[in-house]
Structure 1
């Protein structure tokens, strides 16, 4: 094996956490190693004529956030989500907006189901207020599942809440109550939400632009096999190459990070191994309509009882001025439901998703140009009961020489783009401070 020169920092993982760290440290001797053939992790999209196809992360944070600042520095543009984000489709009824408190009375439910839905919704609303005031969200309602918090529900009402929970890639009996409540807090914030913007051109534009700036300092198809101590440095092994580094920022998903950090920080490795991830399955749909569609003013609709759990209108950002032909949708599901569907072929998955799309919006029949399936076995991290106890082992500079730093969306009770980017930035700032101490710069 060839031992490379000593670098200031090696970053393992090219998702938004690793890319944010590399962006902060770009004026230092930094090397980012990504196992996959592209940067960005679940931030993936393809251009599609005047539109774009999003396959994973699609909601960007508000102006003034870290991701927004990086986006602006790269001369990219985010636009606000103006379409409804809290739609709900049950059986043949599609509610595209309105006060959520009215939903139990506008859906085709029995009296028993209406009462149960209204009571559970009120319970969640009251808990959201406590969530916003909680000083430590890792510990908030972290001792029971979301299913236990909600209590017994009629099957149709339970499926409505399960559909929402799968957005976080966890089932009701897997997701911690605090994480489930936090999910509703995020969605109910509406246009003032932290996640109420889209990137014009598609989510993948951001990692592509970061990669272009980083150039050869960001390598793809470079899986890391091991990290070991070497005096007061760390050695990163990637294939036949060994790279010595003063610091390592581990920004890979927790299941991949755990065995790598074990030789340096065993307690952190144990905590990482206990973090929970769920699957995410999406179908991006290019449409070729030539006139307005009934969902033009809508962004997102929850779809309990269908093959997919969420309908999203990715073309809504361009629905200003004269209505242009064509469009872009993303349909997705998560958690165990997604994992089970992944056993099917792409053709079967697309066929089932499109059949439910046509049942929901018959106007889409004969208007499908292309449907592309994307599978994310580690779709997102979510907090399960007891997650709060793992936090202390993950924080700060780790290892005997305090030169191993963790970054990733698992630092939040719900994995989001901004949460991941913030942890990458925090790790980079610690590294930069240590470099300045040593060099007195």
Structure 2
């Protein structure tokens, strides 16, 4: 009996004492280890369901900039607020996850300028016409449409001719050379700060094209303001912007449930190294437990800065060189909870320049429209304030204390919506050091090269590879999964 016990201890205890993937003589080898649980990493994992995959996420929950918070009966976005109409792999994934997509009802956008509110697509158009004329408005729309007709997304874009030139000049240069009136510079500079974390004189002219052209999808030009009202009327409620009842954070939540035990949260990756024909991923779990995992392929679905830090020993020289050229802009979201609505006349209120705010989102706009009964039981209201720097080089948002940032935001809100701060009963602040990958001039050339560089099994994913939107991040995850499958098949 004693001999049996000794034999049991020798044979079984060493394995039981080591967690899956810990350093030992014969560690498990995964097909793919994915670093980063944002939408890019989650999408990659979802599309590798036929393989043995492990996803490592530093935080206690997945989602990254697409996570959703909850305050009493209010669901609110901590980062990304909406997405464009899902297509291709993203649309298929949403359908397979059984999620109910909601088109954001009109008015989706309201612009505040000079003490006035310009409501919806028509309101914004009237602001531009009011400060210029109908001819300039038509010319601006036509010029955007002409260029967008030749545009395509990474990796399919052909950087030739005018598109290549637009990638190498700033958006402000493009506005100037086309002699667009000053009001167009001012209005779209706010848009650029909110979408890209940078001003028009800092980002590629090609980068703004997809977003700015979106305002004029299907627009055919008009002769007067009456015709403009007819052309841009939003009475049908179509906005081309989408979310879910509890925000786009519903996607990472559903993916987390689908992927189950393939995800390890609270796991910070410290290094990735090549070991023979495999990769070794070193990490710290729950703040103190050192582990390592091995895999035939690795997908790094983090910011470019983090990818450089953890993958330095495994990245190719060209990958490192290209990644080091990616600039980032910080931003913060400040969720304000109140005893009455701060602003509930539209989904997004865009604030003119000169303000720490770029946008005020009404957190329950979609729920009020699609789930009206929910409003009857509401015990609080929520607004999400987006604070972005005037320049991506300005990191003061990260240096302010929570108290200082909240104070600045409340003062700014009262200038737009007098007395609003008196109704605030709580708040939550979320900061993103690597919030926006800034599309500086030459970004498209960099992205094309990054897509083509062979990482020999070390694959990159993230919105800095395609475009700084939720949809693009998901697309990059899908493309990374395809590259992983190709590598494993060789």
State the TM-score, normalizing by the size of structure 1.
0.85
Deviations 1:167-211 (A, max 9, x none): 2111222111111233212455597676x1122123333223322
Query: For residues 175 and 397 of structure 1, what CA distance do their matches in structure 2 show?
Result: 24
1:307 alignment partner in structure 2 = 356
CA drift of 1:121 comes to: 8.6
Query: For residues 136 and 205 of structure 2, what CA distance do their matches in structure 1 show?
Result: 16
Query: For residues 419 and 106 of structure 2, what CA distance do their matches in structure 1 show?
Result: 19
- Residues 380 and 294 of structure 1: CA distance in aligned 2, closer, same or farther (over 3 Å): closer
State the aligned residue count.
Answer: 423
CA drift of 1:382 comes to: 2.8
CA drift of 1:318 comes to: 2.0
| 1:174 equivalent in alignment to 2:222 | no
1:145 alignment partner in structure 2 = 170
| 1:2 equivalent in alignment to 2:53 | no
Alpha carbons 1:128, 1:182 under 8 Å: kept: no
| 1:76 equivalent in alignment to 2:132 | no
| 1:279 equivalent in alignment to 2:324 | no
Query: For residues 365 and 283 of structure 2, what CA distance do their matches in structure 1 show?
Result: 42
Match of 2:477 among 408, 424, 431: 424
Match of 1:47 among 70, 89, 111: 70
Secondary structure at 1:8's aligned position in 2?
strand
CA drift of 1:406 comes to: 1.5
Which residues of structure 2 form unaligned runs of 5+? 1-21, 218-233, 285-289
2:110 alignment partner in structure 1 = 87
Which residues of structure 1 form unaligned runs of 5+? 107-113
- Residues 369 and 388 of structure 1: CA distance in aligned 2, closer, same or farther (over 3 Å): same
Match of 1:388 among 440, 444, 451: 444
Secondary structure at 2:112's aligned position in 1?
strand
Match of 1:370 among 426, 447, 451: 426
CA drift of 1:360 comes to: 2.1
Secondary structure at 1:296's aligned position in 2?
coil
CA drift of 1:405 comes to: 1.6
2:301 alignment partner in structure 1 = 251
CA drift of 1:14 comes to: 1.0
| 1:328 equivalent in alignment to 2:382 | yes
Query: For residues 452 and 239 of structure 2, what CA distance do their matches in structure 1 show?
Result: 29
Alpha carbons 2:168, 2:204 under 8 Å: kept: yes
Alpha carbons 1:224, 1:238 under 8 Å: kept: yes
1:410 alignment partner in structure 2 = 464
CA drift of 1:159 comes to: 4.1
Alpha carbons 2:279, 2:298 under 8 Å: kept: yes
- Residues 314 and 144 of structure 1: CA distance in aligned 2, closer, same or farther (over 3 Å): same
Alpha carbons 1:47, 1:202 under 8 Å: kept: no
Alpha carbons 1:46, 1:202 under 8 Å: kept: no
Alignment map for 1:262-273 (pairs within 5 Å): 262=312, 263-273=314-324
Alpha carbons 1:311, 1:331 under 8 Å: kept: yes
- Residues 116 and 241 of structure 1: CA distance in aligned 2, closer, same or farther (over 3 Å): farther
Secondary structure at 2:405's aligned position in 1?
helix
- Residues 118 and 56 of structure 1: CA distance in aligned 2, closer, same or farther (over 3 Å): farther
1:109 alignment partner in structure 2 = none
CA drift of 1:426 comes to: 1.7
Query: For residues 88 and 411 of structure 2, what CA distance do their matches in structure 1 show?
Result: 39
2:225 alignment partner in structure 1 = none
| 1:207 equivalent in alignment to 2:207 | no
Alignment map for 1:13-24 (pairs within 5 Å): 13-24=36-47
1:110 alignment partner in structure 2 = none
Alignment map for 1:156-167 (pairs within 5 Å): 158-167=185-194
Secondary structure at 2:269's aligned position in 1?
coil
Query: For residues 116 and 242 of structure 1, what CA distance do their matches in structure 2 show?
Result: 63
- Residues 341 and 360 of structure 1: CA distance in aligned 2, closer, same or farther (over 3 Å): same
Alpha carbons 1:39, 1:208 under 8 Å: kept: yes
State the TM-score, normalizing by the size of structure 2.
0.77
Q: Which moved more, 1:146-155 or 1:385-394?
A: 146-155
Alpha carbons 2:55, 2:263 under 8 Å: kept: yes
2:57 alignment partner in structure 1 = 34
- Residues 423 and 351 of structure 1: CA distance in aligned 2, closer, same or farther (over 3 Å): same
CA drift of 1:330 comes to: 1.3
CA drift of 1:427 comes to: 1.6
RMSD in angstroms over aligned alpha carbons? 3.0
